[in-house]
Amino acid sequence: MSYEEWAKQILAGDRRATARAISAVENGEAAGVALLKLLFPKASPACVIGITGSPGVGKSTLVEKLALEYRRQGSRVGIVAVDPSSPFSGGAILGDRIRMQGLSGDEGVYIRSMATRGQLGGLAPAAHDVVTILEAAGCQVVLIETVGVGQDEVEVARLADATALLLVPGMGDDVQTFKAGVMEIADVFVINKADRPGADRVEQEVAAMLSIGPRTDAWHPPILKTVATTAEGIAALRDALDRFRVFGQSSALSVQRQQAKCRVRLLELLRQTLFEKVVAERLRDGLIDRYVDEVRERRRDPHSVVEEIVGESRRGESTFTTSASQLSPSRRRCRFSNTCSAAVRTRKNWSRTRRCASRCLRWARAASSCSRRQRRTRRSRALSPSAARGSIT
């Protein structure tokens, strides 16, 4: 099946095609990138809502009830549930979907569990691309449930259009409320498990924090109380998220967040691509092990090693570019190496051809000098007395 046919199935809402596309993106396959190039121009932007909070605050249960609320409105919902990966085995239980059994039979809801795969910030590495696939599959609302975060995992705010931060009573004193980090990214504060003692105190602490540090975009984050197990307060949460979306569309906030999201995504892809390129070209044949041993034995420091690797990469590219650019198109073939003659001519495979670029340049100069000598020889022969007598006779 071609990529175009695969993309058509995703755009038609085929669940199997969508699942296989997400797997390809997660595994870093070339097919995933090819599909994203086809789907991105055709995907309709969805309302991306991030649900974050500490472990045990009830994120999965609340996401299930919130998805049901959006389904009552007739919206197709996509859910991305992120679970932590083991730092030792690399595996993940992916158990968030177990708490969403009420959505398992709904064809208008697509649930995908993902592992962080060692990435910090509360999201999976392929979360941005998965959102693009779900948008192409027709999801109008995408709910992203992060892993249980601490105080500094704020990556979801760079992906979501709106972020809801879940809090529960009894999770620390009022000093925790005033700490920077995750408390600053919330567009809506949700005090879940509000039927427990201490919910009013948490509400007062959050209100005091908001009064001290107001936002610069004129939005006043509401503080809501919910009991996710009984769906109490879920309708009010949906209304608050809808109000924030309308507020963002009426002001410049929505455009600013979209610009920031695109900027972050471009920089991430650039960083990843450059890193993979340097690793593939400069750290082959066990070279990284040699560097590791040098750092471990304190013979070199890590900063010097990185500067050397980056410096060699820059010198290699600049040397080849300068040498090849000085050759005329007819002289960019290397007579010293048959394996790179075409590569030198087309300026591809730099790592393989930069070693012979200087030899190509020397050959070009020698060939030019030889041709000049040949022209002088022919000219002198044409003007010699013997040649003149032969022409007269």
CATH number for the domain harbouring residue 146: 3.40.50.300
Least confident window among 65-79, 113-127, 366-380:
366-380
Least confident window among 21-30, 251-260, 323-332:
323-332
Same structural domain, 122 and 228: yes
> Residue 34 has what pLDDT?
94
Element (H, E) at 354: helix 350-382
Looking at every residue in the chain, the average pLDDT score rounds to: 79
Same structural domain, 85 and 176: yes
285 part of a folded domain? no
Last residue of a domain, one of 251, 282, 306: 251
Q: What is the mean pLDDT of the segment spanning 68-88?
A: 87
pLDDT at 38 over 80: yes
Least confident window among 72-86, 188-202, 231-245, 320-334:
320-334
Contact present, 95 and 78 (Cβ < 8 Å): no
Same structural domain, 242 and 104: yes
Domains in the chain: how many in total? 2
> Residue 385 has what pLDDT?
52
24 part of a folded domain? no
Over the stretch 315-341, which tens digit does the pLDDT of each residue have? 655 544 444 444 444 444 444 444 444
Contact present, 223 and 240 (Cβ < 8 Å): no
Q: What is the mean pLDDT of the segment spanning 171-196?
A: 76
Contact present, 334 and 346 (Cβ < 8 Å): no
pLDDT at 345 over 60: no
Structure-token pair, residue 50: 């991030």
Same structural domain, 239 and 315: no
290 part of a folded domain? no
Contact present, 141 and 77 (Cβ < 8 Å): yes
Last residue of a domain, one of 235, 251, 267: 251
Which of 12-26, 83-97, 118-132, 368-382 is the most confident on average?
A: 12-26
What percent of the chain is helix, strand and coil (3-state, nearest 5)?
60, 10, 30
93 part of a folded domain? yes
pLDDT at 14 over 90: yes
242: containing domain: 43-251
pLDDT at 343 over 60: no
Over the stretch 274-291, which tens digit does the pLDDT of each residue have? 888 888 777 776 788 888
Residue 129, number of CB atoms within 10 A of its CB: 23
Least confident window among 72-76, 239-243, 271-275:
271-275
> Residue 283 has what pLDDT?
75
Same structural domain, 200 and 105: yes
Residue 104 burial (10 A CB sphere; 0-12, 13-18, 19+): exposed
Residue 95 burial (10 A CB sphere; 0-12, 13-18, 19+): exposed
Same structural domain, 221 and 312: no
Return d(Cα 385, Cα 324) in angstroms, integer: 44
> Residue 21 has what pLDDT?
95
Of 2, 16, 36, 75, nearest to 265 (Cα)? 36
Return d(Cα 244, Cα 78) in angstroms, integer: 20
Provide the CA 371 distance to its chain's centre, in angstroms: 54
What pTM, to 2 d.p., does this model score?
0.74
Instruction: Please report which confidence band the pLDDT of residue 18 belongs to, taking 50, 70 and 90 as the band edges.
Output: very high
> Residue 388 has what pLDDT?
43
